[in-house]
Structure 1
Amino acid sequence: MTEYRVAAVFDLFLLLVAVLTPLAGATLAAVLLPKRGRRARLALAGCLVSLLNILVTHGLMLATGPLMKVFGIALAHTVISAVSMPIHIIGFGLLLAGALTGPPQTPAPAPAPALAPPSAPASPSALASAPNAAPTQAPTPTSGTGEK
């Protein structure tokens, strides 16, 4: 009889973890609701649906005896799975929608054009050979006499 008690305590521990996990997720989503908006609402709904799935599944497991009488031993587990699977998929889908949807991505600004390296001053012969070059005057040397 001792092994049954150990199994029962371990089953209660697993049930406690299974119930506390979506409760912690729902609490976190509720705290982040003002900051995250729609994403937090989807995550909160997903956590609550997952909690509902755990409660429904364990409720049906408590009713395994009547289910076996109605559907037989082989189909009782299938009935429990058939009831809990759609609830699980909906909860998981809501959690994914809350995690993967986000604000629209704004395109990154275009990078600034690279500056061209400074070019060397053109020689007078290069300027004269350019067809569309503007006429330039050669600098006039100033005398060092200080005339005004």
Structure 2
Amino acid sequence: MCTEEWIQTYDEAHRPLSRKTRDDVHKLGLWHDTFHCWLVERDTVLLQKRSATKKDFASLYDVTAAGHLQAEERIADGVRELEEELGLKRNIEDLTFGAVIQDTIQIGDWIDREFTHVYFHTTNRRSGNISMCVETTINSVV
């Protein structure tokens, strides 16, 4: 049985509005929170290849670990993405805060308006199940 994913929405100034389903958030182009964590190993950024079965951007390379925050979650709860996607159990205090980036992506009728909460974590691939990640040197990332 599949349950709907409920997400807190915001106005452009990040003031809470209402809770909507994930599908409605993207259909209506509503602002919402996401969590991104980039894993860094020495001078290398690790990327994750999205599953071929993903609804959006299937089989493409992406942030090391990322996801939508559910309506009842705080920003710090986004750290769960590291464990869900990579098997790394970390606390928000283990990460380095980068920035909150306000971003919009529109592809046809699909509109993604995010307050992206960006974090970084220094790691080595022996510390978790992150063998599916690929690397790129930090100097080559624009």
User: Which range, TM-score by smaller chain?
Assistant: under 0.3
In our comparison, the structure showing a higher alpha carbon Rg is: 1
State the TM-score, normalized to the length of structure 2: 0.20
Query: Bigger relative contact order, structure 1 or 2, given CA contacts below 8 A and separation 6+?
Result: 2
Select the structure that is richer in strand: 2
State the TM-score, normalized to the length of structure 1: 0.19
